[in-house]
């Protein structure tokens, strides 16, 4: 017997329809790349999204086509989130910090048809425009007045011209909720980046859970500033949580330094923010140096890499801001766990409460997790045993775009590549990650790419790239090299060897020469041992 309730697919367009009807006058504030602070509302964003949906159709974008963005957090980017996905096309958010070669690879792999970009990225567009295979239109996300006369991009279009050419009489189409909505590439540990293809259903379910009190804890009374970029896992879902709850959204654009962020926090009355630990280091440094306080901020979601307990303490003790330590990944839309208290913690002393806050938290509803030992058997949730962390749920990947890399699942569970402990109350603690990628300022650096370049040098016999601790960027690449017998090469020559081959910030900070790199039974380099050996290594940049 079936239930007798309405059948309505879970579609992303319903979020902006809801926000327009119920929170139409709620503000969306953006620091623009044009330099000013721009103010709009959900009503206006909804109207302009419909106009942009019509403009996309006029450009020949069909359901399922991929439409790419290279853009900061801002209202035009938000409009594209709804115009593209809402009309049945797929929003492909591209990380502008990648090397032009990688961006070209990703755009070709995704078969992007149109690419929207912020003016900051014009030089990047000029570098890739003649090389990408499928992009028919490049659209500058600005108005005509801010478009240079000779942008040197063939067939360049202007965002505001596209919006102006349409009215907003448009009905969002209805379709199967399992339809793809957006695409985000993750660097992975080996080979080329792989695409994670979200659906309307997965996004809507993730949004509902993310907004819950034990998730991001977001409501209509909040003013939310996502520092986490909209090109990285949909800004952890905040672009969807905003319209679902009616929270005011504040977008920082390219102004991610402590001063610019602090000014926006204060001027707009931000109550909740979200970002990686490195961003908060910059912000706290600025606030401390200038003897400032947060007058409205109450909660700050921190994740992407482990949040240092000292930061959690400082936020609470010095500024009255509660950190929500969260864990997730691109393959998980991204939220998996978030640290919030249970009733039993109310009676605990402050130190014990800090220990709870420092964990990566409990699984949000919808995410199931388990840890397993080397033999694949479940490990106990005793806060002691640590093993590979596996997850499953309706917003967790089942296969990569175009089935790249084959079936990633193990008996229906997704192996996260992280190693964790879980305590009896269900709080998870990441102890390590089995992946060898290096995380600099919250962004992945692929160690294999760096090794491949080093291995191309005539004097290098073997190279391993590992993460070395860095006070500002958390981790920076350290290259460990075995020279070929009789060959000579210096640290400086090897570092210079990376010039022009990768994005500059991927270049290793330092090189050390060793007689041998430890190998495992199957001939693989044992980077865990190397990391142990060089854990005290002082980087010259540190």
**Binding residues for ligand AMP, per CB under 6 A?**
186, 233, 303-306, 325-327, 329-330, 334, 360, 416-418, 430, 433, 444
Q: Give the 3-state secondary structure of 110-149.
A: HCEEEEEECHHHHHHHHHHCCCCCCCCEEEECCCHHHCCC
Q: Find residue 51's DSSP bridge partners.
A: none
Among the listed residues 248, 421, 435, 439, the single catalytic one is 439
Among the listed residues 331, 443, 451, 475, the single catalytic one is 331
Q: Which is nearer to ligand AMP, 166 or 203 (CB)?
A: 203
Residue 248: partners with Cβ closer than 8 Å, 6 or more residues away: 26, 27, 28, 29, 222, 223, 224, 242, 268
User: Measured from the CB of residue 335, what is the shortest distance to ligand AMP in angstroms?
Assistant: 10
Q: Which is nearer to ligand AMP, 122 or 326 (CB)?
A: 326
First to last CA, the chain: 66
Backbone φ and ψ of 30, nearest 5° = -135, 135
User: Measured from the CB of residue 408, what is the shortest distance to ligand AMP in angstroms?
Assistant: 13
Q: Which is nearer to ligand AMP, 75 or 198 (CB)?
A: 198
Q: Find residue 256's DSSP bridge partners.
A: none
Does 395 qualify as catalytic in the annotation? no
Among the listed residues 444, 451, 475, 506, the single catalytic one is 444
- Beta strands per DSSP E along 200-319: 223-226, 248-251, 272-275, 299-302
Q: Which is nearer to ligand AMP, 193 or 242 (CB)?
A: 193
User: Measured from the CB of residue 250, what is the shortest distance to ligand AMP in angstroms?
Assistant: 22
Does 524 qualify as catalytic in the annotation? no
Among the listed residues 40, 93, 186, 359, the single catalytic one is 186
Side-chain half-sphere exposure of 519, counting CA atoms within 13 A = 9
**CA-derived radius of gyration, the chain:** 23
Q: Which is nearer to ligand AMP, 53 or 312 (CB)?
A: 312
User: Measured from the CB of residue 36, what is the shortest distance to ligand AMP in angstroms?
Assistant: 32
Does 484 qualify as catalytic in the annotation? no
CB 154: neighbour CB atoms within 10 A?
9
| Helix H or strand E segment including 12 | none
Does 381 qualify as catalytic in the annotation? no
User: Measured from the CB of residue 172, what is the shortest distance to ligand AMP in angstroms?
Assistant: 29
User: Measured from the CB of residue 186, what is the shortest distance to ligand AMP in angstroms?
Assistant: 5
Q: Which of 191, 204, 257 is nearest to 86 (CA)?
A: 204
Q: Which is nearer to ligand AMP, 246 or 393 (CB)?
A: 393
Show which residues are catalytic.
Answer: 186, 331, 439, 444
């Amino acid at each position: 017997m079936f239930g007798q309730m309405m059948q309505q697919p879970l579609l992303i367009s319903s979020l902006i329809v809801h926000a327009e009807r119920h929170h139409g006058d709620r503000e969306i504030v953006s620091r623009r790349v044009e330099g000013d602070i721009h103010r709009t509302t959900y009503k206006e964003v909804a109207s302009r999204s419909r106009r942009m949906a019509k403009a996309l159709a006029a450009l020949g974008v069909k359901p399922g086509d991929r439409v790419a963005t290279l853009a900061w957090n801002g209202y035009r980017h938000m409009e594209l989130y709804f115009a593209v996905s809402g009309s049945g096309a797929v929003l492909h958010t591209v990380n502008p910090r990648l090397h032009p070669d990688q961006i070209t690879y990703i755009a070709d792999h995704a078969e992007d048809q149109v690419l929207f970009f912020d003016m900051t990225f014009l030089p990047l567009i000029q570098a890739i425009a003649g090389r990408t295979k499928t992009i028919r239109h490049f659209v500058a996300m600005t108005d005509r007045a801010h478009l240079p006369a000779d942008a040197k991009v063939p067939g360049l279009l202007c965002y505001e011209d596209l919006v102006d050419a349409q009215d907003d009489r448009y009905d969002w189409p209805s379709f199967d909720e399992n339809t793809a909505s957006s695409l985000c590439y993750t660097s992975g540990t080996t080979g080329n980046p792989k695409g994670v293809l979200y659906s309307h259903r997965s996004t809507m379910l993730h949004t509902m859970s993310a907004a819950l009190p034990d998730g991001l804890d977001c409501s209509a009374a909040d003013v939310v500033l996502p520092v986490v970029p909209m090109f990285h896992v949909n800004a952890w879902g905040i672009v969807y949580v905003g319209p679902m709850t009616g929270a005011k959204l504040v977008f920082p654009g390219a102004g991610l330094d402590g001063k610019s962020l602090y000014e926006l926090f204060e001027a707009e009355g931000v109550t909740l923010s979200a970002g990686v630990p490195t961003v908060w280091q910059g912000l706290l440094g600025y606030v401390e140096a200038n003897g400032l306080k947060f007058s409205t901020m109450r909660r700050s979601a921190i994740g992407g890499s482990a949040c240092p307990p000292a930061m959690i303490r400082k936020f609470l003790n010095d500024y009255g801001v509660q950190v929500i330590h969260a864990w997730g990944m691109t393959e998980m839309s991204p939220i998996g766990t978030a640290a919030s208290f249970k009733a039993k913690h109310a009676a605990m002393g402050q130190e014990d409460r800090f220990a709870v806050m420092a964990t990566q938290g409990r699984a949000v509803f919808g995410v199931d997790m388990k840890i397993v030992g080397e033999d694949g058997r479940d490990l106990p949730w005793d806060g002691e045993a640590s093993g590979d962390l596996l997850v499953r749920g309706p917003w967790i990947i089942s296969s990569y775009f175009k089935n790249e890399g084959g079936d990633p699942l193990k008996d229906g569970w997704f192996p996260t590549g992280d190693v964790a402990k879980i305590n009896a109350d269900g709080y998870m603690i990441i102890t390590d990650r089995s992946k060898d990628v290096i995380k600099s300022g919250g962004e992945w650096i692929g160690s294999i790419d760096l090794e491949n370049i080093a291995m191309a040098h005539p004097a290098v016999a073997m190279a391993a790239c590992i993460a070395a601790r860095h006070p500002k960027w958390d981790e920076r690449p350290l290259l460990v090299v075995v020279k070929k017998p009789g060959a000579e090469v210096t640290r400086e020559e090897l570092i210079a060897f990376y010039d022009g081959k990768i994005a500059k910030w991927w270049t290793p900070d330092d090189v050390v020469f060793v007689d041998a790199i430890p190998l495992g039974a199957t001939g693989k380099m044992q980077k865990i041992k190397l990391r142990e050996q060089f854990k005290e290594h002082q980087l010259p940049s540190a």
